[in-house]
Amino acid sequence: MEITYRMDQKNVDWAALRADLKNDHFDNGRSLEQYQKSFGNSFAVCMAWDGERVIGSARALSDGVCNAYIVDVWTHSQYRHRGIGTMMMRYLLKRLLGQHVYLFTDNAQEFYRRLGFKAQGSGMGLVVGKWLVS
């Protein structure tokens, strides 16, 4: 297995990626077009590849100055616990120097602690209007 990491979305098979996300229970209902738009509008993206297959993704939203938010950190279930998520996060964090980086996680606190993240306050959220309808 030779995993490669890229900071672009060239040649992504969005249908295959969405199917893998669904199978891993990591899909939040976005359409293929919405996935492409979400990733395309991101400040930074890192994707892990095994050959021509995306087996991991992570992206950052940022103002490019002082605040960033990490979202959509995912490694395919068959590839977990091999350092892939750690490598994707390291690539993203290199693009966010000098910024306060925040994220939300339900069940991966220890993973992020190992990367140097510390608990800060409590997150809050609001869906404006109807979910995924702009």
Q: What pLDDT score does 113 carry?
A: 96
> How many structural domains are present in the chain?
1
Q: How many CA atoms lie within 13 A of 117 on its CB side?
A: 22
Domain membership of residue 74 (yes or no) is yes
pLDDT value of position 129: 87
- Residue 8, beta-bridge partner list: none
Any domain includes 101: yes
88 within some domain: yes
pLDDT of residue 35: 94
pLDDT tens digits, 5-20: 999 999 999 999 999 9
Q: What angle do CA 121, 122, 124 make, to 5 degrees?
A: 135
Residues (pLDDT < 70) of the chain are 1
Q: Is residue 125 part of a domain?
A: no
Residue 1's pLDDT is: 67
Q: Which segments of the chain are extended strands (E)?
A: 3-6, 44-50, 53-62, 67-75, 100-103
| pLDDT for the residue 122 | 83
* Residue 37 belongs to domain with CATH number: 3.40.630.30
Domain that holds residue 34: 3-114
pLDDT value, residue 99: 96
Please report the pLDDT score of residue 134 as a whole number. 73
Starting at the edge strand found earlier in the chain, the sheet holding 67-75 runs 3-6, 44-50, 53-62, 67-75, 100-103
Q: For residues 7 and 58, what is the distance between their CA atoms, to the nearest angstrom?
A: 10
